[in-house]
Structure 1
Amino acid sequence: MSSLHRRIGADIERRILSGEWPPGARVPTEAELTTQYDCARMTVSRALTDLSARGLIVRRRRAGSVVARPPVHSAVLDIPDIAAEIAARGMAYGYELIERGVRDATDDEAWLGDQGVLSVVCLHRADGAPFALERRLIGLAATPEAADEPFTEVSPGGWLLKRAPWTEAEHRIAAVAADRETALRLDLAPGEACLKLERRTWADGRGVTWAWQTFPGQVYDLVARFSPARPEAR
C-alpha cells in the first residue's frame, strides 16, 4: 500500500504542476481513484491526505477535492484590504454579509468607547470559494457614521480603510482548528487547520475596530522581512 499511495500522489502532483489540472480544477473522487488504480479506498485517502498537507489540493466537505490556488501573501504589519489582495491574484472577489447589529460594549470592549459598537459578521470569497470569515466590532465613538452604513455591498474592513485612518495597530496571529460554525462557513471539515488574525486599531488614542479574520490554512500566509539588530557602537 505504501508504494501505491505514493504513486497515486505523484501522478496527481504531476498533473497539477504541469498545468494539466489548473487551480480550482476538480480532483477525481476517492471512489473514482479507487477504480482507476484498482486499490483500497484507504490507499487513495492516504494519498489525498498527503497532497492536502503539502498544500497541493483542498479537500472540502460535500464538494470533494480541488487543486489548491497559490496562497495570498501579506506582510505581517500591513492592514490588508482583502478585496484588493484577491483581485491582485487575478481572482474574482465576492462578499456576503451574514449578520449586523448595534449593541452596548462589554467590559472587554470598553476601549472602543462609550457610544456602543457595531457588530458585523461577513464572508469573503475568491472565485466563488470561501476565503475568509470575518467577525468585526466597530467603535461608534470614533466612527459614528458606521451606524448608518448597511455593509451589504461593501466590507467593513474596506470601508474603514477609506474612512477611518488608523494611527496604531495591534496584531495577534494564531493557528486554530475550525469550530463547527467556521467549518460550515468556510466549507471545511470541523477541526481543519486555519489561520486566525486578530487585529485592534486606534486613531489618535481612540479605539476604532476589533476584528477577527479566519482563513483556511492553505489560502493565506504572512510574510515578514527584517534585519538583525546591529550592536551598539562603543
Structure 2
Amino acid sequence: MSLSVDRDKFQAADKPTLYKQIRLDIERRILTGEWPPGHRIPFEHQLMTRYGCSRMTVSKALSELAQADLIERRRRAGTFVRRPKFLSAVLTIPDIRAEITTLGRSYGYQLIQCSRRAANAADRARLGVQKAGKVIAISCRHSADGVPFAIEDRLIDLDAVPEAATADFAIEPPGTWLLHHVPWTEAEHSISAIVADSQTAAALDIASGAPCLVIDRHTWRSARTLTAVRLVYPGESHKLVARFKGG
C-alpha cells in the first residue's frame, strides 16, 4: 500500500517536530486499520524519500512507535505492524471499529435505535448547553467475532453538526462517522465502573450484576458541544492503558 502524503508540508515543518509528524502519520494508518497487523511498513529509505528527511529522523519516529508497541522491528526482515496488547487509550478518541479490526478480529455493528427530536431539558443538560434545537439520539452495539464488545448511547447536537442529519447510522457507526467527517478541538473522558442492570446485561450478554467499565465522553469544537456519548464495556475483558511522557 502506497503512502499518500503532502511532502511539501513535511519539508516545511520545523525539523525538531518533523519526526513527530511522521510518527503520527504512521500511527494514524495503524489505528484506523489502513495498515492491519502484520502489514510491512515501508523501508527506511522509502520513508526518507517520501517525507524528504534524514534516516535519523525516520529512525526516531519508528523507535517511538516501537516503544508504544505499535510496530515490531525485525532484523533483516523489516518493520511490521504489531498486534496491540490493549484496546483503549485514555488520551485519544478511539474508533471502536478500527480497534477491533486492528486486533485481527471481525467487527460487527447493530443499530438499536436512532431518532431525531427537539432537544429536551435532559438532552441540554447532557450536552452542557443552554439552547439546542434538534438532536440525534443513537443506541447501538459493537461486537468482535460475534461477541458483544460495547454498547453505545450517543447524542449529537444537530445545530453543531447539521451534516449528521443525512448520515446513515444504520450502516456506519456514529463514532467512526464523526471521526472521519467532523473535526474537533477538545474532548473530555470520564471513566467509571457500574454493575450491569438487566437491560445492560442482556445487551452485552453478561450476567446481571457483572462489573462494567464505563466511558462518558464529550467532544467540542471551538467551545461548541458536538456530541456526548456513553460507552459501556464488559468489565472482565477490558482495561484502559495510556502511555505518556513528561516534558
TM, length-normalised to structure 1: 0.64
The equivalent residue for 2:49 is none
Structure number with greater Rg is 1
Contact 1:72 1:221 in 2 (8 A): yes
Instruction: Name the amino acid aligned to 2:186.
Output: E
* Cα distance change on mapping 1:195 and 1:109 into 2, 3 Å: closer
Quote the offset at 1:109 in angstroms. Answer: 3.7
The equivalent residue for 1:153 is 171
Are 1:97 and 2:111 an aligned pair?
A: yes
The equivalent residue for 1:115 is 133
Are 1:182 and 2:196 an aligned pair?
A: no
Quote the offset at 1:227 in angstroms. Answer: 4.5
**SS at 2:164 equivalent:** helix
Please, which runs of 5 or more residues in structure 2 have no aligned partner?
1-83
* Cα distance change on mapping 1:155 and 1:108 into 2, 3 Å: same
- Deviates most, 102-111 or 116-125: 102-111
**SS at 1:224 equivalent:** coil
Contact 2:127 2:228 in 1 (8 A): no
Contact 1:71 1:219 in 2 (8 A): no
Quote the offset at 1:102 in angstroms. Answer: 1.2
Quote the offset at 1:110 in angstroms. Answer: 5.5
Are 1:81 and 2:92 an aligned pair?
A: no
**SS at 2:169 equivalent:** coil
Question: Whole-Å Cα distance in 2 between the matches of residues 104 and 71 of structure 1?
Answer: 42
Quote the offset at 1:218 in angstroms. Answer: 2.5
Among 195, 207, 216, the residue aligned to 1:198: 216
The equivalent residue for 2:159 is 141
Deviations 1:179-230 (A, max 9, x none): 111100000111101100000000111110000000001232111224568x
Question: Whole-Å Cα distance in 2 between the matches of residues 93 and 175 of structure 1?
Answer: 25
Contact 1:168 1:203 in 2 (8 A): yes
Quote the offset at 1:152 in angstroms. Answer: 0.6
Question: Which structure ranks higher in relative contact order (CA pairs < 8 Å, sequence separation ≥ 6)?
Answer: 1
Quote the offset at 1:71 in angstroms. Answer: 7.1
The equivalent residue for 1:62 is none
* Cα distance change on mapping 1:97 and 1:195 into 2, 3 Å: same
Are 1:219 and 2:237 an aligned pair?
A: yes
Contact 1:72 1:219 in 2 (8 A): no
Question: Whole-Å Cα distance in 2 between the matches of residues 80 and 110 of structure 1?
Answer: 20
Among 169, 179, 186, the residue aligned to 1:168: 186
Question: Whole-Å Cα distance in 2 between the matches of residues 228 and 216 of structure 1?
Answer: 32
Quote the offset at 1:166 in angstroms. Answer: 1.1
Number of equivalent positions: 160
Please, which runs of 5 or more residues in structure 1 have no aligned partner?
1-69, 230-234
The share of aligned pairs that are identical, in percent, is 47
* Cα distance change on mapping 1:207 and 1:179 into 2, 3 Å: same
Deviations 1:52-79 (A, max 9, x none): xxxxxxxxxxxxxxxxxx9742221110
Contact 2:185 2:220 in 1 (8 A): yes
Question: Whole-Å Cα distance in 1 between the matches of residues 245 and 169 of structure 2?
Answer: 40
Deviations 1:106-135 (A, max 9, x none): 241453552211000000000011000000
